[in-house]
Amino acid sequence: MRKLLKKIASTLVCAIALAHQAYAQSILRDAETEAFLHEISDPIFIAAGLDPRSVNIYLLSDPSLNAFVTGGQNIFIHSGLIMASDDVNQLLGVIAHETGHIAGGHLVGIRDAASTAGNFSILSLVLGAAAIAAGSPDAGIGLLAAGQTVAQRQFLAFNRVQESSADQAGAKYLNELGISGKGLIQFFDKLRDQEVLAYIRQDPYIRSHPLNRTRILSLEQVLGQSEYYNKPPNPKHNEQFNRLKAKLQGYIQRPSDTLKEYPLSDKTASARYARVYAYHKALEWDLALSEADALIEQEPANPYFHEIKGQILFENGKVREALPVFRQAVERAPRAPLVATALGQAMVSLEDDVLMAEAIPILENATRQDPGNTFAWFNLAKAYSWVGREADANLATAERFYSAGVVYQAVGYAKRAMDSFKTGSPEWLRAQDIFFIARDAAERQRKQQRRRRRFDVEFTGQQEFQKQQEQHWQYQP
Ligand SMILES: [Zn+2]
């Protein structure tokens, strides 16, 4: 179990094995992917008049084709959408369209579960995976399931006017940035055939973003007029995209499938990246290491190659060897809190006085940049406790439960922290904030759970009905 938890807490924080029991959906957190998604999307957000720092992009582990937005400027992208995209422009087209929904304020009018229930539900969807990683798997699964319901509630939300306005807005952003919109058309083409399918067999994207001929035709017209229509994707971004797709594939697929798709004869960085993950997954540590070393030799300045090598060593129990490798990664990516967390975790797990003291500022920095990083809070609390800073440890644990949406524990630890800090001090005030917010959220959650039980029954009923309809059609003479 310990080993399993460690594995889940790896760089790509994910809970595939555990989450399958409830919902096959969890947040995939990976420093490189997150940095890449922002690098390619930030110009679009700026073109839309949004502050890129306030737009969050999350990658969900889900094989279906989908992307959706929720209140609070969150864009969710299914891993299935990345896998199905042939180049970076197809992904960019979808992101531009989703940005059109955000900038157009389309979420304001709908019955947005995230706003009525407070941001807590969506926060729990986002951080459920992190909660599992932090050692509370039961809470994690519960939270993931809850979040899923929130997302489902918001499906079917956009109407035709909103769809075409998001299309037009997306086309405008792409054009302003000199990016071809062909990718968006190609993406819609993939979905076109699904229009006639029964609801249950469609990809969720079709349900949340209704397609129709008129819409595609008018989009084709607008995008086709652009002088950039036949311009190929940015080569650097496309290469990065291919690598991340390979990495994702190696991480998600069965190792045997990955190795078939990326045979040893393929020496490109993408293929090696896919194989690192495939071997890693198959517990073939030596093979994984030799591929990681080959990548580092090819590009010594790439922080993520060092990061994955460190991760392989760490998970193989070679923590002391992992340490200098993680340091190299952090040196090359000083502003990547997930990479810093990996280093901090390795330091804390060695239970050494000097390293514990060194880990504290590293993890404090990581939590400052990424306050929802439950795993960083977990390790920071451990380090505080080791050096005898119990009050700080309580506050860090309150933060950890708070950001994971585990409200009851957050209330308890916030109370303990309040009791141990001087009244009115900044730490005491922070503990008090968590205490009140988490207490209110606990109350709301209780009420919501009662309502949600009713909703789930309705939703399952609807699915059953669709299934019957489908069978009915199939058996018609
Ligand atoms: Zn849409």
**pLDDT tens, residue by residue, 398-422:** 999 888 778 889 999 999 999 999 9
**Rounded CA separation 277/30 (Å):** 13
Distance 343 CA to ligand 1 centre (A): 40
Please report the pLDDT score of residue 49 as a whole number. 97
CB atoms within 10 A of CB 427: 16
Distance 88 CA to ligand 1 centre (A): 19
CB atoms within 10 A of CB 308: 30
Please report the pLDDT score of residue 475 as a whole number. 31
**Rounded CA separation 376/366 (Å):** 7
Distance 245 CA to ligand 1 centre (A): 23
Distance 75 CA to ligand 1 centre (A): 12
Distance 123 CA to ligand 1 centre (A): 22
Distance 369 CA to ligand 1 centre (A): 31
Residues of the chain with pLDDT under 70: 1-25, 108-158, 193-212, 452-477
Distance 253 CA to ligand 1 centre (A): 29
Please report the pLDDT score of residue 110 as a whole number. 45
Distances (CA, A) of 59 to 2, 232, 449: 26, 25, 26
Q: Is the pTM of this model over 0.75?
A: yes
Distance 80 CA to ligand 1 centre (A): 17
**Rounded CA separation 325/345 (Å):** 13
What residues contact 470, with CB distance under 8 A and at least 6 apart? 198, 200, 201
Distance 163 CA to ligand 1 centre (A): 5
Distance 166 CA to ligand 1 centre (A): 6
What residues contact 450, with CB distance under 8 A and at least 6 apart? none
Distance 31 CA to ligand 1 centre (A): 27
Distance 307 CA to ligand 1 centre (A): 36
Distance 305 CA to ligand 1 centre (A): 36
DSSP H helices, 177-302, are 182-192, 204-208, 213-225, 235-252, 255-261, 269-281, 285-298
Which residues make beta-bridge pairs with 74? 56, 70
Please report the pLDDT score of residue 207 as a whole number. 60
**Would you state the torsion angle of the CA atoms of residues 66, 70, 74, 79, taken in this order, to the nearest 10 degrees?**
-20
Distance 466 CA to ligand 1 centre (A): 23
What residues contact 300, with CB distance under 8 A and at least 6 apart? none
**Would you state the torsion angle of the CA atoms of residues 206, 208, 214, 216, taken in this order, to the nearest 10 degrees?**
-60
Distance 9 CA to ligand 1 centre (A): 33
**Rounded CA separation 107/115 (Å):** 10
